[in-house]
Chains A and B, each alone.
Chain A
Amino acid sequence: MKKTSPTEAEALEAATAAHANARYVLKLYITGTTPSSTRAIVNIRKICEEHLLGRYELEIVDIFQHPTLAEGEQIIAAPTLIKKLPLPLRRFIGDMSQTERILLGLDLRKVDDKPSALA
């Protein structure tokens, strides 16, 4: 269990306050060219382009190629998207098809445009 220490909590609040123009660091772990992996890449790229244009970093890691990274990042499901920044850390598993949930999880929900291209 990861307990949030007071200092972390403060940092977290600050981060939340500044999230509007915060920089996003995202990592997507996929397993080769499985259908869900390719779908996930397409879906997350689309979301980033639409909502985080110019302020995101997306790294795509194939854990087939780098199995040690799977252990380091505690990956068990594939595909997995990890939001490293801004805090708090979040994980999304699946083919990233449920855009609403991802937006909610990325704290981008206030952007109130209904995405038309919901896969």
Chain B
Amino acid sequence: MSKNNNQLSTPSSTLPKTPTGIQGLDEITGGGLPTGRPTLVSGSAGSGKTMLAMEFLVRGATQFDEPGVFMMFEENAAELTANVRSLGFDLDRLVSEKKIVLDYVHIERSEIEETGEYDLEGLFIRLGYAIDTIGAKRVVLDTVEALFAGLPNHAILRAELRRLFRWLKDRGMTAIITGEKGDAAVTRFGLEEYVADCVIILDQRITEQISTRRLRVVKYRGSVHGTNEYPFLIGERGLSVLPITSLQLNHEASAQRLSTGVARLDDMLGGKGVFRGSSVLVSGSPGTGKSSLGATFIDAACRRGERALLFAYEESPAQILRNMCSVGIDLEQWIKQGLLQIHSSRPTLRGLEQHLVMMHDTVRDFQPTVIVVDPISNLSFERNEAEVKPTLMRLIDFLKQQQITTLFTSLTAGGATPEDSQVGVSSLMDTWLLLRNVEFNGERNRTIYVLKSRGMAHSNQVREFILSDAGIDLVDVYLGVDRVLTGTARLAQESRERAAAELRRQDHERKLRQLASKQKAIEAQIALLQAEAEAEAAEVNFAIAQEVLQEKTTQQNTSTMAQLRDGVKTGNNRIKGTL
């Protein structure tokens, strides 16, 4: 409701508006109904006119401090009180607190005889009196057309109704006048002639055996308004109109990251998992492990102590608990601790809109931080995709605004391209994980990859998705010549790689050994050559020394011989003479 108040505070300089407090209606009308003027709400029987009018009054009395008068012509006060109690409105209390006056105007055609001129002053007095007693600001006349059945003189009646609407305007009453839908005109008795400021048409349609209520603002004098048909619902908390495009995209973006419960998957998502408050789509064909991934996501949230909500459209809670045990996820403990609620139903049981309102209510009651919808594709069961998308958009927006992280699984029909048939919601999703079955080598294996993930670096790799009794794990896949290898093919490839590595290692060792021995051989050769060189050098030195010695000896001999020869010829004289 604070949103409505915000919208009010933004001054719509042209026309003052009175908020209805009805979810979505104030957004379509840009703030509510025209203040101090009558609004005509027309629709066929059972289209929700009375509920809309009643909620307008009750919200006015309880939220906007504007008391109201409800003048009814078709059902009496007791009936009405009982009827709206189902919406959680306690009329008895509001009446006793003097916030609402209920006045039942009953006309029995058979009792009435016209005898000359009259006016409807009695009605005016009653209404005026009721307004004065509680200081009413809002008035509802439901359905004033019943007077046409009760009073034969329509000329007088029309003149009096014209006067009545004028009178309401003069008194500054924001009024809702309901009318039965006519065949050609907006209302059966042409009330739109008198109430021309704002006209809203309600409609109930049945397509594929599912009824949908719709609301359209046909006319809003002096104000812009949404002109589309909007689905609306009557839920446990009153009406909610589902405006499609009027919701502002102003939800906060948290920088906080949440683990998906699978460490390797977190790694693929920038190492930290998904953003809080973001929406995650997990799509895949049957049996790819979507539900298990959802359960893991819930399990991780509950482990952190957060509350999680699971909407299951295919399995009963007991079945889910049993099945998830087989992959090592014990969800029952979280239910016992009050951290998890599982809502299993068939969405086709009620209309889609009805279902979404139920989801809204549950979310508001339980206040979870994590929601898993399994699978979202069931919501579109036998429904026109164009209808489903806006409602889902609304749901996703709502959850984002509540900062709830959501994981939707989506079943891809066999044969269809995995990228399409996502109920057209993929553009609304922040993260999209694709699960695929890869059939190769006589077996089927699951793979996972991140198709997109806004605002974070994410892996472009395909990983194999393994479900075991210990939960989910992701392993790298191998790229073969023409395809990725998974399962036993991957195992074979792995062992091949291991063998090759071993072989390479041995090869290296051998090469190193060879090198070492070669080095040794060379070293030996070097030593040999060195020894040779040394030997040679020694020989050369020896020879040189020998030659030197020989020469010395020769010289000595020569001189000795010369002395000797000299001594023989002259004896000692010779020696003297030479001196």
Contacts and interface: CB of A to CB of B under 8 A. Distances in A.
Contact of A96 (B116, B122, B125): B116
B120 A76 contact: yes
Nearest to A93: B118
Pick the 5 closest A-B CB pairs, nearest first.
A94-B116, A97-B116, A67-B129, A75-B122, A94-B115
B114 A101 contact: yes
Interface stretch (B31-39, B101-109, B208-216): B101-109
Interface in B125-146: 125-126, 128-130
A93 B125 contact: no
Interface of A: 1-2, 29, 31, 34, 36, 39-40, 43, 63-64, 67-68, 70-71, 74-81, 88-98, 101-102, 104-105
Interface of B: 103, 105-108, 111-123, 125-126, 128-130, 147, 151
Nearest to A71: B126
B115 A102 contact: yes
A26 to B, nearest CB: 13
A31 B113 contact: no
Given A74-B105, A74-B107, A93-B112, A67 B126 contact: yes
Contacts of B128: 67
A36 B117 contact: yes
11 contacts: A34-B121, A63-B125, A76-B105, A78-B119, A78-B121, A92-B113, A93-B113, A94-B117, A95-B116, A95-B117, A97-B115
Contacts of B151: 77, 93
Nearest to A40: B116
A70 B125 contact: yes
Interface of B is mostly: mixed
B111 A89 contact: yes
Contacts of A94: 114-118
Contacts of A70: 122, 125-126, 129
Contacts of A77: 118-123, 151
Nearest to A72: B126
Contacts of A89: 111
B107 A36 contact: no
B154 to A, nearest CB: 13
B114 A31 contact: no
Q: Give the most central of B112, B116, B119, B130: most A CB within 10 Å.
A: B116
Contacts of B108: 1-2, 91
A15 B116 CA distance: 28
Contacts of B125: 31, 63-64, 67, 70, 78
Contacts of A95: 115-118
A112 to B, nearest CB: 20
